[in-house]
């Protein structure tokens, strides 16, 4: 049983002077569920905080709710999907207005091996889709079985983005990625609010007869996973390399499109075909790594979740072959604060997560990792002293749960209304990661190292963002950030 207490919330004093910096966050993974058949992606409708949807390459979508996999699949289209090698059910995107229209979109390989993008609709049961509701949006013939791309996502403007591979084989023998009349090897952007789809009038090639209107960017090899930063709208593309170089590209929000990301002229920052290529006019990656470190990049996302505020703005990605997991921050066109997380994000047995095929976000922005061969899905969480908050609504009670503390030890719960910073607390030998930190409550952990604090959120705080952190002798928790409704 947790110790708990209840007092009016946030009537407190400043602990110490604040400075504009904060420390690193220790992280780990927890297994959310297992037993999946080749999981490749996690996705969630906007505002759905109770469920995550796991895409299985064989053609099923499973729902995880409250830590359990629902027995009935959300959707089963295995009979329509070719699951072999790089083919299968590869992408899922919920329409921004899913709560009202029930539409979601899939990218899959049909039984002929061609790429199909289709719209489906949820049934009257929110946990089961209508398998007979399919409306085909787009079909792309695939000359080979590999390099299918597969990722789809809605951008900040509500348009559907589709990443397509170069058609496969090796070295792009048809030079399709540079051919404006081919949809292969591209980033596409279409409007699917009505079907048949329409072309957004701001697409970059609508007045260029040499390039199809659906195309947003050319020169992709196999953009297996891309994502939008929910904080800024920036587009991050992880493009799988050929024989030597894996790359990550960034396109800032507000970009007008029309970029050429280089393939097959270049692989990463290096000429490929021809060997003396001209890189003028090409957009080069923000980051590349060679095949001494891996062989197939799996793109993740910018962390913007609630549990790990110190990780905000950090891009996570992995390598499928070596099981490495890395992250970095972007400073302009430079990579800074690069970190290798492989060891700290290992499985409970100390071994790395195997065959990382995809990442994903839930509605709160927490990051998940898919293990293709292991059939597991993991979530990145704090390591050490851990803090979690309930949903914050002005005028209602909220609860803060602290765990992994010293049994019976003194604990302190603090908050800030102004964000991250540094607040030294010399008596405890720690520095808080909050600006102008204020003390809410002190208490003691129970015999299990847990402590629960409940209090009312003043209505006046509605619309504000709170940064909350717990501390004990010699340790601070993660910083939990949440906006008050």
3-state secondary structure of 168: coil
Rounded to whole angstroms, how far apart are CA atoms 482 and 473? 25
Pick the CATH number of 27-382 from 2.60.120.200, 2.120.10.30, 3.40.50.280, 3.30.200.20: 2.120.10.30
CATH 3.40.1000 assigned to domain 4-21+385-483? The reply is: no
Rounded to whole angstroms, how far apart are CA atoms 268 and 321? 18
Contacts of 194 (CB under 8 A, 6+ apart): none
* DSSP assigned state of 177: G
Exposure string (b/e) for 98-127, b if CB count within 10 Å is 16 or more? beeebbbbbbbbbeebbbbbbbbbbbeeee
At 255, give phi and psi (nearest 5°).
Answer: -60, 145
Contacts of 255 (CB under 8 A, 6+ apart): 235
Per-residue pLDDT of the chain (485 residues; tens, 9 = 90+): 344 333 333 333 333 333 334 557 999 999 999 999 999 999 999 999 999 999 999 999 999 998 999 999 999 999 999 999 999 999 999 999 999 999 999 999 999 999 999 999 999 999 999 999 999 999 999 999 999 999 999 999 999 999 999 999 999 999 999 999 999 999 999 999 999 999 999 999 999 999 999 999 999 999 999 999 999 999 999 999 999 999 999 999 999 999 999 999 999 999 999 999 999 999 999 999 999 999 999 999 999 999 999 999 999 999 999 999 999 999 999 999 999 999 999 999 999 999 999 999 999 999 999 999 999 999 999 999 999 999 899 999 999 999 999 999 999 999 999 999 999 999 999 999 999 999 999 999 999 999 999 999 999 999 999 999 999 999 999 999 999 99
Q: Strands 325-331, 297-302: parallel, antiparallel or unpaired by DSSP?
A: unpaired
Rounded to whole angstroms, how far apart are CA atoms 210 and 207? 9
Q: What are the structural domain ranges in the chain?
A: 4-21+385-483, 27-382
Rounded to whole angstroms, how far apart are CA atoms 147 and 407? 53
Is residue 484 within 8 A of residue 466, CB to CB? The reply is yes
Comparing 4-21+385-483 with 27-382, is the CATH topology the same?
A: no
């Amino acid at each position: 049983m947790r110790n708990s207490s209840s007092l009016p919330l946030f009537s407190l004093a400043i602990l110490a002077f604040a400075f504009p910096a904060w420390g690193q966050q220790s992280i780990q993974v927890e297994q959310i569920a297992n037993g999946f058949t080749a999981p490749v992606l996690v996705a969630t409708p906007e505002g759905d905080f109770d469920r995550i949807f796991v895409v299985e390459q064989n053609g099923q979508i499973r729902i995880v709710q409250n830590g359990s996999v629902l027995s009935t699949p959300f959707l089963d289209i295995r009979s329509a999907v070719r699951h072999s090698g790089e083919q299968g059910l590869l992408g899922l995107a919920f329409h921004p207005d899913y709560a009202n229209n029930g539409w979601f979109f899939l990218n899959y390989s049909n039984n002929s091996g061609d790429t199909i993008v289709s719209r489906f609709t949820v049934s009257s049961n929110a946990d089961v889709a209508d398998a007979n509701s399919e409306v085909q949006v787009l079909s792309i013939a695939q000359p080979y079985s590999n390099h299918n791309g597969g990722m789809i996502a809605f951008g900040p403007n509500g348009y559907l983005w589709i990443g397509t591979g170069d058609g496969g084989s090796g070295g792009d023998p048809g030079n399709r990625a540079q051919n404006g009349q081919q949809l292969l090897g591209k980033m596409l952007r279409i409007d699917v609010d009505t079907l048949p789809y329409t072309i957004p009038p701001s697409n970059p090639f609508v007045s260029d007869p040499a390039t199809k209107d659906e195309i947003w960017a050319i020169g992709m090899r196999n953009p297996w996973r891309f994502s939008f930063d929910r904080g800024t709208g920036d587009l991050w593309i992880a493009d799988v390399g050929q024989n030597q170089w894996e790359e990550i590209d960034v396109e800032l929000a507000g970009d007008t499109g029309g970029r050429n990301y280089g393939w097959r002229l270049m692989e990463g920052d290096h000429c490929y075909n021809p060997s003396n290529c001209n890189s003028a006019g090409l957009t080069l990656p923000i980051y590349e790594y060679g095949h001494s470190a891996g062989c197939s990049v799996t793109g993740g996302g910018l962390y913007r979740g609630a549990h790990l505020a110190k990780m905000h703005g950090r891009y996570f990605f992995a390598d499928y072959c070596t099981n490495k997991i890395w992250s970095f921050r972007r400073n302009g066109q430079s990579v800074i604060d690069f970190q290798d997380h492989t060891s700290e994000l290992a499985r409970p047995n100390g071994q790395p997560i195997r065959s990382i095929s995809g990442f994903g976000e839930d509605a709160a922005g927490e990051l998940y990792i898919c293990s293709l061969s292991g059939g597991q899905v993991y979530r990145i969480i704090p390591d050490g002293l851990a803090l979690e908050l309930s949903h914050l609504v002005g005028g209602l009670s909220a609860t803060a749960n602290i765990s992994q503390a010293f049994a019976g030890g003194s604990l302190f719960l603090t908050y800030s209304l102004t964000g991250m910073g540094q607040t030294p607390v010399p008596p405890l030998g720690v520095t808080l990661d909050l600006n102008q930190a204020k003390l809410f409550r002190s208490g003691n952990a129970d015999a299990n190292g847990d402590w629960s604090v409940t209090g009312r959120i003043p209505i006046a705080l509605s619309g504000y963002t709170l940064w909350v952190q717990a501390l004990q002798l010699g340790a601070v928790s993660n910083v939990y950030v949440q906006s008050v409704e």
